[in-house]
Amino acid sequence: MSPAATFVLVHGAWHGPWAWDGVVPHLHAAGARTITPELGAGGLHDDVGAVLDALPDGEKAVLVGHSYAGLVVREAADARPGAVGHVILLDGWAGPDGASLLA
């Protein structure tokens, strides 16, 4: 992986970007960039939109989703595959295609 990789670190439910405070310094020390978007209470569609808005232009980011955000980053990667180089799930759930947390 390139030392200039950008990691989009997406927190799980009932967390915030602060959940990544112990990880971000290590990634920066390795030369990586980090983006930690804030997910709101608007639901899956809005959360996917927040991740899509956070993706950097002109490069393939590494999406990391914790817990509920596993589904969020999977949906974001499906929506914009050209902007995503890798998807990492950390204790995450992505579900099968068409999955919903409500169904």
Catalytic residue among 5, 36, 67, 68: 67
Ramachandran class of 55: left when φ > 0, alpha when ψ lies in -120 to 50, beta otherwise: beta
Euclidean distance between CA atoms 42 and 80, whole angstroms? 21
Establish whether 67 is a catalytic residue: yes
The answer to whether 41 touches 14, Cβ cutoff 8 Å, is no
CB-side exposure of 72: number of CA atoms within 13 Å? 31
Give the residue numbers marked as catalytic.
67
